[in-house]
Structure 1
């Protein structure tokens, strides 16, 4: 299985880059992982809806350049479906059983995802009703994908 993460913005903090590198290394046993960073747009304070939509559309255009036609696309959205670790594991496993060979997870920028990305999404996933920094979400997502593969393979994991 190939897993692609398409994310908006760069990771500046070393501790987050280290955590991403660690989970990337751990995941290499289970899947082919690719992480793609696209540039984010600066969002002015108190931006109007029109300005925010323009920013989301620009970021969406950058994201869509990397979305492959055959990929199953999972977008991270605050109003997406909340899953347990076991349910996410079952979802990834079921996709593989059904013949999906490429899953793309998309993490938007600080103001969310553009309409074009949302329209392409096959599944909207939420990790919480709370908002997390999108840089930290990369670590959380990678950890959950790793945990999913541990569950799929019947290997121990912390509950």
Structure 2
């Protein structure tokens, strides 16, 4: 499965190291592509970077949240569908993306966007470990 993460804004230290860590941990599970757009990228610029046939997930604070077990089940459903995945993270002002197949949240708290990118990868890694029945302690 290919996973694309499209994010408005560049990742800097200390989050860049965390992203690299989870990118490395995810290598056995998925082919990962990260796309960073300029801070002023609008919805049209973002939409152009979403792969055509990918299931597009927009991160939004007001969307439903899933726990880790439900996230793993959701990931298995996505894999079974045969479609790749694309996660989209807007900039500081959020993003409305009509092209999104669904919206998801990490809960009602506000996170720095760079940290939210790390959490996307961490949750993907955790879901893969859950699906394989492997322990998660990273």
Structure 2, gaps ≥5 residues long: none
More helix by share: 1
Partner of 2:118: 139
Partner of 1:86: 69
Distance in 2 of aligned mates of 1:4 and 1:111: 21
Matches within 5 A, 1:25-64: 25-41=24-40, 58-64=41-47
RMSD: 1.1
Structure 1, gaps ≥5 residues long: 42-57
TM-score for both structures, normalised by structure 2: 0.95
Q: Deviations over 1:70-117 (max 9, x none)?
A: 0100110011111001111110111111222x1000011001003xx2
Larger Rg: 1
TM-score for both structures, normalised by structure 1: 0.83
Contact 1:150 1:157 in 2 (8 A): yes
Correspondence for 2:92 among 84, 105, 110:
110
Partner of 2:6: 6
* Distance apart, 1:142 and its partner CA: 0.7
Divergent runs of 4+, >3 A: none
